Chain A
C-alpha cells in the first residue's frame, strides 16, 4: 500500500446504503482506494455500479433520507471527512475539494448569469470585494478557454453551448484552487470534438495547478488517455485496481476483460462484437457470491464464485483484484 502522506485522498472500506420504500439498496460496499497527489484516478463502471454515489459520499452530499454512509473512513489530507462538522465540510466543499457534473444545463442555475455563479463561489470561500471577485471570475473564464470573457461574464447558461457551460463549471470548480477535483462524467453529454477540448483543458489545468483529479466515467477511451490510476467498479464493489497502462495491457478481472473486448475499436475489424451476456444486476437483488458470476464465463458454473464473494486482494505492487480465478490471487492474503 502506498504511504498515506503521498495520498491526497484515502478511502477505506466505504459503504453507503439507501433505505428505500422497496428495500435496502447497498449502493457502495466496502470500497477502498487512494488518490495520490497530483495524479488522475479514474473510477470506471457502468450505470448502477456506485461510482457517482462514491463521489457524493466523499463530498458528504448523500441525502438522508434515504441514503447514509454506514461504514468506512475517508481521509483527505489527514482529515477524516466523516467526522468533521458540517461547517468544516462546507469550507472544504468548493475550496479544497470541488466537483463538476455531467449535465451542465441542469447543474448551472438558469436564473443567474454565469459570472454571478462564479462570483458566488469566490465570495463564499475568500474575503474579496465584489469588484475583486468579478476580476477573478473573468480571469478564470479566460483560463478555461472562454473567448471574450469580459463580455460573456454577463451571459446566462441558456445562451451558451454545452461545451461552454462545462467550461463555466470548471471555472467555478477551480476558482478557489482546490487540491482535488471530482469530475463526474464531465464529457459524456458533449460532442466528441468538444470532449477532446475539455479533456485537453483538464490535463493542462492539472499540470498548471498540481491538483489531483478523480474522474468518473464509463468511457474506457477517456480513461486510457487521461488516467494514471484506474479503479474498476461493478455492482457497488471495486473489482480491480491498477495503473492505466497495466490495466489495458493485462486486465485481470473477467469483467474488465469483457469490457475491453466488447468495445468496438477504431481500425479493428471483427465479424461480431464480443459481448458480456446478461445485464447489470438490480441493486435491490444482488446475486449471492461474486456479483459478476451470472455473466462471467469463468464463474457462472463455479460453486465458489456462486456462494462466496471474493474480497479485494493485492496481487502485485499497485495491483488489486477481486476474483477467485485471477492470476496470483489465491496465495495472497488480504
Chain B
C-alpha cells in the first residue's frame, strides 16, 4: 500500500479509486462480455437513429419499412426482377430476408422492430424501477406495518399469472385518455409491462436493505444524527445500486420478450412493425412455406437476448463486491 500517512510535495488531493472504477476495469478485461455489450449497443443505436430519422426526416432508406422493395413474398438471397407500382421498366432486386405480403422488406421491418422493443423495454424498466425501488427501500428500512402492507400488496399482485395481468392492463389501457393524455399503442404496452413487473426488483431491494440496515456504517450514520431519508438515499441505496444494475440488465430481456408476446397477441402497436407482429403473421405464412419473416424476428430476438444475458452475468461477476477474488 502506498504510504498514506505522509504528504508529498505536490499537496493537491489525490484521486481515489472507487469500487465502481474497479468493477468497470475488471469488466473491460472480459473480451467476450465487451463484445456482447457492443452487440446490445448496436440495437440501442439503431433504435435511437430511427427516432432521429423520424424526428428530423432524414429519410434513411434502411429505416423506410413502408417502401415496397419487391414482389409479395419474395424469397431471400435470390436475384429477382420486378416492376414497382407506377413504373413500366422492371428493376433488379436482392433481399437479405425476403419480403412480406405487401412486398415490404422483412429486413427493414426487423430493424424497425428494434426500436419498438428497445423503447418498450427501456420505458417499462424505468417504470418498474420507479415503483419497485422506493417501495422496496421503504418496506425494508421501516419494517413494521409499512413493511407488512407493502409485502401483502405485492404478494397479492404476484398471485395473478403474469401474462394475464399484462394482457389485462394492455387491453384496459389502450384507447384511453388519462389526465388528458391520450395513450397511444406503444405507451399502453410499456405501461402495462412496467406497472406489473416491479415485484421482483421490489423484493430484491427490500432484502438487500434489510441485510444492510444493521451494518456498522449505517449505525455510524445514525450515531452522527443522519435522518432516515439521508440514510436510505446516501448510505443504503448506493450500496445496493449494483444489484439494481444487474437486475436491470437481466430483466431487460424479459421485457423484450413480454413486448413480443403482447404484439403476438395483437395487443401491441398495431400499425408499426414489431418482432411479435412478424411472428404472429408467420403463423399463417408458414403454411405457405414462407419462413423468412419468422426467421428474421427470431434471429433479432435471439442475439439481443443472448448478448444481454452474457453481459448481465459478467456484470454481476464484476460488480458484486463479495465475488471479488482479490
Contacts and interface: CB of A to CB of B under 8 A. Distances in A.
Q: Do A and B bind each other?
A: yes
Interface of A: 20-22, 66, 278-279, 281-282, 285
B1 A281 contact: yes
Contacts of B1: 279, 281-282, 285
B31 interface: no
A281 B326 CA distance: 16
Interface of B is mostly: loop
A278 B5 CA distance: 8
Interface string B27-44: 001000000000000000
A325 B52 CA distance: 75
10 closest residue pairs by CB, A with B: A282-B1, A20-B326, A22-B326, A21-B326, A21-B26, A20-B325, A66-B325, A279-B1, A281-B1, A21-B29
Interface in B1-29: 1, 3, 5, 26, 29
Contacts of A279: 1
Chain B: interface size category = under 10
Given A21-B325, A279-B1, 7 more contacts: A20-B325, A20-B326, A21-B29, A22-B326, A278-B3, A278-B5, A281-B1
A285 B2 CA distance: 9
10 contacts: A20-B325, A21-B29, A21-B326, A22-B326, A66-B325, A278-B3, A278-B5, A281-B1, A282-B1, A285-B1
Nearest to A23: B326
B323 to A, nearest CB: 12
A149 B149 CA distance: 47
Nearest to A294: B3
Nearest to B5: A278
B291 to A, nearest CB: 46
A153 to B, nearest CB: 34
A66 B324 CA distance: 13
B27 to A, nearest CB: 12
Interface in B305-326: 325-326
Contacts of A281: 1
A27 to B, nearest CB: 13
Contacts of B5: 278
A66 B5 CA distance: 32
Contacts of A22: 326
A3 B258 CA distance: 75
A285 B3 CA distance: 12
Nearest to B25: A21
Contacts of B326: 20-22
B34 to A, nearest CB: 16
Contacts of B3: 278
Contacts of B29: 21
Nearest to B26: A21
A278 B325 CA distance: 26
B273 to A, nearest CB: 45
A148 B63 CA distance: 80
Contacts of A66: 325
Contacts of A20: 325-326
A307 B3 CA distance: 19
A293 to B, nearest CB: 14
A21 B324 CA distance: 10
